[in-house]
Chains A and B, each alone.
Chain A
Amino acid sequence: MNIIVCIKQVPDTTEIKLDPTTGTLLRDGVPSIMNPDDKGGLEIALRLKEQRGGQVTVLTMGPPQAEEILREALAMGVDRAILLSDRKFAGADTLATSNALAGALRTLPFDVVIAGRQAIDGDTAQVGPQVAEHLDLPQVTYAEEIARADDNCLTVRRAIEEGHQIVEVALPCLLTVSAGAVRPRYMSVRGVVEAHGREVERWNFDSISVDERRVGLKGSPTRVFKSFARGGRNAGTPREVDPGEAAEIIIERLQEKFIL
């Protein structure tokens, strides 16, 4: 079974601090890590390979230093690593990113594509589903476990708000996985020792099948007008009323905020 995992290098947001005066992110010296949801996806992929045999490939689009997470993936046990890197891809929003990734996937054989649910830097949760749409693949989001894998079908447990859903999906397909679903393995010592001697394939725009107008800044319809830190919540106004009236006030407020 050919499994491709799309991964992204992100700043470790748990280490990021805000500038107290401007409210902007202080990214200097913040370590870069493999996006946690993607790491969860990689673990699901490695388990699927252990169960069914085959090959796990990791694919990332990013600047040259994104190679670091590919080395980490090699040390965790993947078979092949591809770095998709080109100035033409720079400035991409989620649509342009998914177009580039889909362009790369069109040139690779696969049965299953796995992506992290969302990245901790952008938190959009759009890229995985968009890739599935570009490639016309059935997709299962919030996948937690592959309960069963046959030659042409996966049985997947996915998280929903009320609990779990068990779904069947025909291959080829795309899954998105969140970090909480599974505990990723550690790199092995031998994997680490060998990781820097193994090949990371370097792909650019010419390696993939995509229209130039649909990638990078040109292919990105999203425009950011303003970024700002969310203000702190105020303490609210205490009111002393009887319980019946209190309930009415609460319901009214919840309706105002469209929660009810």
Chain B
Amino acid sequence: MNFSLTKTQELFLRMIREFADKEVKPLAAEVDEQERFPAETVKKMAGLGLMGIPFPTEYGGAGGDNLLYSLAVEELSRACATTGVILSAHTSLCAAPLHEFGSPAQRAKYLPRLASGEWLGAFGLTEPNAGTDASAQQTTAEEKDDHYLLNGNKIFITNAARARVYIVFAMTDKSKGTRGISAFIVERDFPGFSVGKEEKKMGIRGSATCELIMTNCIVPKDNLLGQTGKGFGIAMKTLDGGRVGIAAQALGIAQGALDETVKYVKERKQFGKAIGQFQNTQFQLADLETKVQAARLLVRSAAFKKDKGLPYAADAAMAKLFAAETAMEVATKAVQFHGGYGYTREYPVERMMRDAKITEIYEGTSEVQRMVIASHLLK
């Protein structure tokens, strides 16, 4: 057992930390305030190969793995959670299922564009009446000649406004329940496809979250991902991977909020001394640091198992559950430590607290993670 990073991981961490501090952090407040997608940052990330970290070089990827990818999401999210989730949704929810379930032709067509960052990717599963109960899909796909006709709406889709390709789930046979769900690769330019208005969100406000609207959307048969009726399994397996990304995002938010707090309690003086000198501060910080480190071990363990081809679904659920709840706790306490200043937008912890909340909700709520963990325990 070895808990240290490899030389390659250390070198990568040095690179991504410098990138996050110099290119991402300075824009974080503005991206939040203006609800602006950080297109210039994503372009720089693409130039460095960050949009294709865990994919093979033959598809234009960087030839890295999920551990490197989790380090990237963590460090970007430490600076700006919006930037972290853009990378996570693109990589885990669009490029990864294409790589895992795509035919050779689909991989050859889409992966190089996604891995190079030329195209941004997204994922459409959630519907107005199919949230945690993802099996209640109402979007339909009807087979017609050489194509499918998709009808329905997907909501809360990260990256939607900027993506060029979407992994979309729809019912090909309503009578079969979850076995009637299929996955499709839908391009933004396909006839009948459109993107709705952007959501006004509490946090991760730059991530271009919108509705996908499909009205007799024509999807070529070649764009069926995997086999007919296998869509639900594809969605669940994809979300297992996505949870590693969101766990890393939550971990990054927690670390960012803790870093800000440590800095602040050393500077802020009340009753004649720095508030960091009070034992109440010290004990609370000690607990937060312990939780952040525990979350980090869970995240890295889940990423490591995925890379080794070991079962990791329960690990990913535990990492996501614990990191998300840690992020929320650390960020909330960070605001408390900052007092009135923490409640203002002068300090980043206010944004971090808003950003943290979503990690307990998307890609499976904390309740869903508990269901996954318990089902592994009781099977």
Chain A residues in the interface with B (C-beta under 8 A): 71-72, 75, 186-190, 192-196
Chain B residues in the interface with A (C-beta under 8 A): 7-8, 11-12, 14-15, 18-19, 48-50, 52-53, 57, 62-64, 68
- With known contacts A187-B15, A190-B62, A195–B8 Cβ distance under 8 A: yes
Closest to B63 in A: A193
Q: B68 touching A193 by the CB < 8 A rule?
A: yes
Known interface pairs A188-B62, A189-B62; 13 further A-B residue pairs with C-beta atoms within 8 A, sorted by A's residue number = A71-B7, A186-B18, A186-B48, A187-B15, A187-B48, A188-B48, A190-B49, A190-B57, A192-B11, A192-B64, A192-B68, A193-B64, A195-B8
Complex CA gap A194/B62 in Å reads: 9
- With known contacts A192-B8, A193-B8, A196-B7, A186–B15 Cβ distance under 8 A: yes
A-B contact pairs, 26 of them (CB 8 A): A71-B11, A186-B15, A186-B18, A186-B48, A187-B11, A187-B14, A187-B15, A187-B48, A189-B15, A189-B48, A189-B49, A189-B50, A189-B53, A189-B62, A189-B64, A190-B57, A190-B63, A192-B8, A192-B11, A192-B15, A192-B68, A193-B12, A194-B63, A195-B11, A196-B7, A196-B8
- With a cutoff of 8 Å between Cβ atoms, the chain A residues found around residue B62 in the complex are 188-190, 193
Tell me how far the C-beta of A239 lies from the nearest C-beta in chain B, rounded to whole angstroms: 37
Closest to B6 in A: A196
Complex CA gap A71/B12 in Å reads: 11
- With a cutoff of 8 Å between Cβ atoms, the chain A residues found around residue B15 in the complex are 75, 186-187, 189, 192
- With a cutoff of 8 Å between Cβ atoms, the chain B residues found around residue A75 in the complex are 11, 15
- With a cutoff of 8 Å between Cβ atoms, the chain A residues found around residue B48 in the complex are 186-189
Tell me how far the C-beta of A183 lies from the nearest C-beta in chain B, rounded to whole angstroms: 9
Tell me how far the C-beta of A111 lies from the nearest C-beta in chain B, rounded to whole angstroms: 28
Complex CA gap A71/B15 in Å reads: 12
Q: A188 touching B8 by the CB < 8 A rule?
A: no
Tell me how far the C-beta of A15 lies from the nearest C-beta in chain B, rounded to whole angstroms: 13
- With a cutoff of 8 Å between Cβ atoms, the chain A residues found around residue B14 in the complex are 72, 187
* Residue from the set A186, A189, A190, A194 with the largest chain B CB neighbour count within 10 Å: A189
Tell me how far the C-beta of B93 lies from the nearest C-beta in chain A, rounded to whole angstroms: 19
How many interface contacts (CB-CB < 8 Å) are there between A and B?
50
- With a cutoff of 8 Å between Cβ atoms, the chain B residues found around residue A196 in the complex are 7-8, 11
* 9 interchain residue pairs of minimum CB distance: A189-B49, A189-B62, A190-B62, A187-B15, A192-B12, A193-B64, A193-B63, A188-B49, A190-B49
Q: B19 touching A186 by the CB < 8 A rule?
A: yes
Closest to B50 in A: A189
* Residue from the set B12, B19, B68 with the largest chain A CB neighbour count within 10 Å: B12
Tell me how far the C-beta of A68 lies from the nearest C-beta in chain B, rounded to whole angstroms: 8
Tell me how far the C-beta of B9 lies from the nearest C-beta in chain A, rounded to whole angstroms: 9
- With a cutoff of 8 Å between Cβ atoms, the chain B residues found around residue A188 in the complex are 48-49, 62
Complex CA gap A188/B48 in Å reads: 5
Closest to A183 in B: B22
Complex CA gap A189/B11 in Å reads: 10
Complex CA gap A190/B116 in Å reads: 11
Tell me how far the C-beta of B112 lies from the nearest C-beta in chain A, rounded to whole angstroms: 13
* Residue from the set A71, A72, A188, A193 with the largest chain B CB neighbour count within 10 Å: A193
Complex CA gap A129/B64 in Å reads: 41
Closest to B13 in A: A192
- With a cutoff of 8 Å between Cβ atoms, the chain B residues found around residue A194 in the complex are 63
Complex CA gap A186/B53 in Å reads: 15
Complex CA gap A190/B53 in Å reads: 8
Complex CA gap A193/B7 in Å reads: 10
Complex CA gap A75/B52 in Å reads: 16
- With a cutoff of 8 Å between Cβ atoms, the chain B residues found around residue A189 in the complex are 12, 15, 48-50, 52-53, 62, 64, 68
Tell me how far the C-beta of A206 lies from the nearest C-beta in chain B, rounded to whole angstroms: 28
- With known contacts A189-B62, A189-B68, A72–B18 Cβ distance under 8 A: no
Complex CA gap A243/B169 in Å reads: 83
Complex CA gap A72/B14 in Å reads: 10
* Residue from the set B8, B11, B18, B49 with the largest chain A CB neighbour count within 10 Å: B11
Complex CA gap A221/B146 in Å reads: 83
Complex CA gap A188/B46 in Å reads: 10
- With a cutoff of 8 Å between Cβ atoms, the chain A residues found around residue B52 in the complex are 189
Complex CA gap A228/B252 in Å reads: 42
Complex CA gap A186/B63 in Å reads: 17
- With a cutoff of 8 Å between Cβ atoms, the chain A residues found around residue B11 in the complex are 71-72, 75, 187, 192, 195-196
Tell me how far the C-beta of A39 lies from the nearest C-beta in chain B, rounded to whole angstroms: 11
Closest to B60 in A: A190
- With a cutoff of 8 Å between Cβ atoms, the chain A residues found around residue B18 in the complex are 186
Closest to B45 in A: A189
Complex CA gap A194/B48 in Å reads: 14
Complex CA gap A152/B62 in Å reads: 37
Complex CA gap A199/B225 in Å reads: 41
Complex CA gap A187/B17 in Å reads: 11
Complex CA gap A186/B50 in Å reads: 12
Complex CA gap A195/B365 in Å reads: 39
Tell me how far the C-beta of A161 lies from the nearest C-beta in chain B, rounded to whole angstroms: 29
- With a cutoff of 8 Å between Cβ atoms, the chain A residues found around residue B63 in the complex are 190, 193-194
